[in-house]
Amino acid sequence: MSHFIHVFIVVAALIWQLDIVQSNCDVCQANDAACVNQTSYKLCFGKNIPNNDQIFTCPDGLVCTDKAQICFQRSEVPASCGDNDSCGLCNESKTFACTSRNTFSFCFGATKPTTVNGTCPAGRFCDASDVNICVSTATANSIICHLDKVPESTG
Ligand SMILES: *[C@@H]1O[C@H](CO)[C@@H](O)[C@H](O)[C@H]1NC(C)=O
Ligand SMILES: *[C@@H]1O[C@H](CO)[C@@H](O)[C@H](O)[C@H]1NC(C)=O
Ligand SMILES: *[C@@H]1O[C@H](CO)[C@@H](O)[C@H](O)[C@H]1NC(C)=O
Ligand SMILES: *[C@@H]1O[C@H](CO)[C@@H](O)[C@H](O)[C@H]1NC(C)=O
């Protein structure tokens, strides 16, 4: 019985980890690439650790993503890491701004965020394009602030 519980915890931890991976820098993704910042990446060659010998850079206008093609139009797929352009900017409807990966501030109709702040629940991150504010999966329209104000994992 306790064996089952143990396996369950390990699996749950892995799923949680996969969630987080979406916006971490220097993490091997399903496409075998690890983004080092918004536009550059290393390859993993099937391992879980990026190979540091070479750093590749996406062509102009493309960002490093978790898609098979690695480099994609920023307007179509959010960068996996390093995109901080939207941080602290109120979203189009002036409802809220993401101030880090998992924190946000309300805008109350103004163009600058107020000091009324919130933190996303565990496993969720702030998406300025989403009415739910904190989401668990990115979409093509996601507006994510890649700043780590709060440590995501203590190991
Ligand atoms: C990303 O990292 C590469 C390699 O370290 C560097 O050459 C490049 O200037 C960086 N780009 C940005 C936008 O920080
Ligand atoms: C955003 O990222 C750029 C490039 O890595 C960096 O120079 C800049 O300081 C960052 N801005 C913030 C607010 O952290
Ligand atoms: C901004 O936030 C509001 C409310 O949370 C949402 O309805 C809207 O779609 C968001 N996105 C943009 C781009 O304005
Ligand atoms: C809310 O966040 C902003 C920016 O990160 C900060 O300057 C402000 O002090 C925070 N307000 C509160 C009440 O914590």
pLDDT surpasses 80 at 152: no
Q: How many residues does the chain have?
A: 155
**Residue 42 Cα to ligand 3 middle (Å):** 34
Residue 36 and residue 81 in contact, taking contact as beta carbons nearer than 8 Å: yes
Q: What confidence category does residue 6 fall into, taking pLDDT thresholds of 50, 70 and 90?
A: low
Residue 133 and residue 125 in contact, taking contact as beta carbons nearer than 8 Å: no
Q: Hey, is 57 helix, strand or coil?
A: strand
Pocket test for ligand 3, best of 108, 130, 133, 139 (most atoms within 8 A of CB): 130
| Strand-pair category, 103-106 with 96-100 | antiparallel
Name the residue with tokens 């307007």: 75
Cα–Cα dist 151/153, whole Å: 6
pLDDT surpasses 70 at 110: yes
Q: What confidence category does residue 138 fall into, taking pLDDT thresholds of 50, 70 and 90?
A: confident
Percent of the chain with pLDDT over 70: 81
Cα–Cα dist 57/66, whole Å: 15
Q: Ligand 2: does its nearest atom lie under 6 Å from the Cβ of 147? A: yes
Alpha-carbon torsion, ordered 124, 153, 150, 16, to 10 deg? 0
Q: Which two tokens stand for residue 87?
A: 């941080």
Q: Which two tokens stand for residue 110?
A: 């103004």
Task: Please report the atom of ligand 4 found closest to the CA of residue 100.
Answer: 5
Q: Ligand 3: does its nearest atom lie under 6 Å from the Cβ of 91? A: yes
- From 22-31, 43-52, 79-88, 121-130, the region with the lowest mean pLDDT: 22-31
Cα–Cα dist 131/119, whole Å: 15
Q: Ligand 4: does its nearest atom lie under 6 Å from the Cβ of 37? A: no
Pocket test for ligand 2, best of 38, 84, 98 (most atoms within 8 A of CB): 84
Task: Please report the atom of ligand 3 found closest to the CA of residue 141.
Answer: 13
Cα–Cα dist 114/66, whole Å: 33
Amino acid 3: pLDDT: 58
